[in-house]
Structure 1
């Protein structure tokens, strides 16, 4: 464990790791004209399209964990760069569907390759991406992400105890 991590709480370590990852991905995809947030959007959209889906902005927001308003802002910028198309959903005129353009698919494939290499580097101390420790780490992360958090629960319980 590095000197700066000794005695650190799991929350602090998760935050530090997420910041380290965000900065590394930002730097890695910048030559492709993307930010980390844009990469998250186009890579997720790429995967969904490969599954035959043409998601709405809302569905993509739910998938990525990004706020719907932020997804809308990112989608507009990516549309302006010629990487994706935004069209009205014929079944729901309020919804906007997203799809990668040909150029968007090309840039996304290259970005995925770059980020995959970065992920291999990050997970090397755990035996690499395909190693058993990395698979266990991935399961642990998924478990933590699936755990609902309500920041008001403790506060609400304390408030009820006081009344």
Structure 2
């Protein structure tokens, strides 16, 4: 996992009231094939928990973090390929993603955020490095373990 160095981390939590200082580009990794101008909106099922509909749309400023989103979405849904990473623009305020911020990592080293507002697709990132298959399998095995232990919690 590629995480922000202490110098790159924001010393203050990002909240709906305080997010204007965070600069993109903003990225969203997914299995979905989208076009410029499409909007990612809430209300879709997550790949991480069967039957769970999300109230937020998630994004990052780091390519490796977006790659995890794309690759895991494909692997969890049985779609072949690495998925897609899109450059997106948030239509409104956003906050740190509590699923990784402070719950799993101090601060926000994965530069992960969430919003209730749409994300508009600006372009697709064509040249990005995939995580190795064994790393993806390790993540999938970890998710299975978390589910078995009842710790696959999504704070949404």
Question: Does the alignment reach a TM-score above 0.5?
Answer: no
- Greater strand percent: which structure? 2
- The structure with more helix, counted as a fraction of residues: 1
TM-score of the two chains, using structure 2 as the length reference: 0.25
Instruction: Give me the TM-score of the superposition, normalised by structure 1.
Output: 0.24
Larger Rg: 1
